Structure 1
Amino acid sequence: MRAFYSDHFVLPLPEGHRFPMGKYALLRDRVASELPEVRLCPAPAASDGELALAHEPVYVSAVAEGWLTQAQQREIGFPWSARMAERARRSVGATIAAARAALEDGVAATLAGGTHHAYADKGSGYCVFNDVAVAARLMQAEWHRRRRALLRVAVVDLDVHQGNGTAAIFRDDPTVFTLSMHGARNFPFRKEVSDLDLELPDGCEDEPYLDALDGALNQLWHRHEGRPPGLIFYLAGADPYRGDRLGRLRLSVDGLAERDRRVFAAAHARGIPVVVTMAGGYGRVIEETVEIQRRTLSLATGFQQQWNNRSSHVPTPA
């Protein structure tokens, strides 16, 4: 399985900043030492044209050239720097590359990504560009150019925070189905409307969470009867974990692994390729976040082994 990384672009954050920048390099080290079946690949940078598939060109220029206002930088949560802009490009580039690889191999991953709070015209919540939105639109364009067919996309967002930027970008797009399962009282406090939103109470534990996930996936398949998605973007946030500083839910490490297993099993049963993004994770103990994400990637490699055993790989979307 191919996995793309960009952790060598580290932002010069102020002392005491709560974003866990170090988790990306730690995760890559764990994958390199413990998951030999994962081929680590450096992320390319997304171009201005690719970013403009989901973002306003003036916003892309503001990030690239340093025009962001102080208010815009505060909403993003990062001060502007050339490295910040380049890291944002590489994060999108990693998801683009993973999406292409998933369509070839059945599954691929980025060791970052899932920047679902970014809107077409602004960033928010540590998200500069919306990597999934850009990659989804680019995959649809490339699929149509090669096959003269429509690629339907599903976004399965299981980060603890609602994917508000993704929901807004695809609000009027029937070719992309957005599913977000998140904490009802968590950021963002003004939610957007996804195609399917499931709000969970503070303190939600493994059993009710997994029951809600089963119901959400059943609704996803029911709404696509006869027109299944040809690609899933899975935001496998580690932040529903009970030890997360920003999560407010109470899932165990094993519960999160079972969540991942159910998503992969549902995709495998329907022959749908999956792009895995790590999304959020703000554990009080950073090593616990990294372990949750390592397990997600380990389960993804099992999905690929099952995929390789299929008699036919990529389905032809309706």
Structure 2
Amino acid sequence: MHAFTSDHFVLPLPQGHRFPMGKYKLLREAVQELLPAIRLNEAPVASDGELALAHTPLYVTSVCEGLLSEAQQREIGFPWTPRMVERSRRSVGATIAAARTALHEGVAANLAGGTHHAYADKGSGYCVFNDVAVAARLMQAEWHRHHRSLLRVAVVDLDVHQGNGTASIFQDDPTVFTLSLHGERNFPFRKEASDLDVELPDGCRDAQYLDALDGAMRALWRHHSDKPPGLIFYLAGADPHEGDRLGRLKLSTEGLAERDRRVLEAARERRVPVAISMAGGYGRVIEDTVAVQTNTLREALRSWSGWNNTAHE
């Protein structure tokens, strides 16, 4: 199984900044040690043209040429630097590469990504560019060029925060189904309308969460009752974990692994490729976040093996 990493491109942050930039290196190291069957690849750079598939040219130019206002930088949560641009391009490039690979091999992953708060014309909430939106639009264009048919896409966003930017970008696009399962009272406080939003109360635990997930996935498959989607982007946020600083939910490590298993098994049973992004994770103990994400990749590897064993039978 292939996974794509951009942790060598570190975003310099002020002392005491809340964003846990070091988690990406720790995750790569955990994969190398515990999941050697996952082949790690350096993330490619997303081009301006690719970014413009989901973002306005003015916003792309403002980010890439350092023209963001102080207010725009505050909304993103990162100060502008050339390294911020490089890392943001690589994060999108990793999801593009994972999506291309998944379409051929069933499952692939970005060890970062899931930047779902970025809108077409602005960034927000530690998200500069919306990697899933760019990759979805690009995969649709490439699929049409090669197959002369429509690639229908589903976004299964299980980060604890609603995917407001993704919902906004695909608001009037019937070719992309957006599903977000998130904390009702958590950021963003002004939410957008996904195709399916499932809001969860503070303190939600494993059983309640998994019941809600099962219902949401049934709704997704009902929506595609004529034909399953051709590709799923799965945002496997670690921030519903009980030890997360920002999550407000109470899922156990085992409950989150079961969440991943259910999503990936349902997709594999229907032969729907899955491109995984790690999305959020802000553990009080950052190793807890890394453990949750490592379990996600363990389940991804198991699903990938199932895909390929079936293909060779």
Q: In which range does the TM-score fall when normalised by the shorter chain? A: over 0.9
The aligned counterpart of 1:137 is 137
C-alpha distance in structure 1 between counterparts of 2:7 and 2:57, whole Å: 26
Query: What's the offset of the Cα at 1:5?
Result: 0.4
The aligned counterpart of 1:215 is 215
C-alpha distance in structure 1 between counterparts of 2:165 and 2:220, whole Å: 20
Query: Following superposition of structure 1 onto structure 2, how do residues 25-44 of structure 1 map, counting pairs within 5 Å?
Result: 25-44=25-44
Query: What's the offset of the Cα at 1:228?
Result: 1.4
Pair 1:97 & 2:97 matched: yes
Q: Deviations over 1:278-308 (max 9, x none)?
A: 0000000000000100010011000011101
One-letter code aligned to 1:265:
E
Pair 1:309 & 2:309 matched: yes
Query: What's the offset of the Cα at 1:312?
Result: 8.5
Pair 1:176 & 2:176 matched: yes
One-letter code aligned to 1:7:
D
One-letter code aligned to 1:139:
M
Pair 1:230 & 2:222 matched: no
Normalised by the length of structure 2, the TM-score is 0.99
The aligned counterpart of 2:251 is 251
C-alpha distance in structure 2 between counterparts of 1:60 and 1:310, whole Å: 42
SS in 2 for 1:124: coil
Number of aligned residue pairs: 313
C-alpha distance in structure 1 between counterparts of 2:23 and 2:136, whole Å: 26
The aligned counterpart of 1:281 is 281
Pair 1:165 & 2:168 matched: no
C-alpha distance in structure 2 between counterparts of 1:38 and 1:205, whole Å: 30
Query: What's the offset of the Cα at 1:311?
Result: 4.1
Q: Deviations over 1:19-76 (max 9, x none)?
A: 0000000000110111111000000000000000000001000000000000000000
Q: Structure 2 stretches of 5 or more lacking a match?
A: none
Q: Which 4+ stretches in 1 moved above 6 angstroms?
A: none
Q: Deviations over 1:255-298 (max 9, x none)?
A: 00000000011101100000010000000000000010001001
Percent of counterpart pairs with the same letter?
Answer: 74
Query: What's the offset of the Cα at 1:309?
Result: 2.2
SS in 2 for 1:180: strand
One-letter code aligned to 1:200:
L
Q: Deviations over 1:75-107 (max 9, x none)?
A: 000000000011000000000000000001100
C-alpha distance in structure 1 between counterparts of 2:146 and 2:29, whole Å: 37
Q: Deviations over 1:200-253 (max 9, x none)?
A: 000000000000000000000001111310000000000000000000000000
Q: Structure 1 stretches of 5 or more lacking a match?
A: 314-318
Query: What's the offset of the Cα at 1:13?
Result: 0.5
SS in 2 for 1:68: coil
Pair 1:49 & 2:54 matched: no
C-alpha distance in structure 2 between counterparts of 1:262 and 1:159, whole Å: 15
One-letter code aligned to 2:104:
E
Pair 1:65 & 2:55 matched: no
The aligned counterpart of 1:316 is none
The aligned counterpart of 1:264 is 264
One-letter code aligned to 1:108:
A
Task: Kindly report the root-mean-square deviation, in angstroms, between the aligned alpha carbons of the 2 structures.
Answer: 0.9
Normalised by the length of structure 1, the TM-score is 0.97
C-alpha distance in structure 1 between counterparts of 2:312 and 2:174, whole Å: 27
C-alpha distance in structure 2 between counterparts of 1:312 and 1:92, whole Å: 32
Query: Following superposition of structure 1 onto structure 2, how do residues 105-124 of structure 1 map, counting pairs within 5 Å?
Result: 105-124=105-124
Pair 1:19 & 2:19 matched: yes
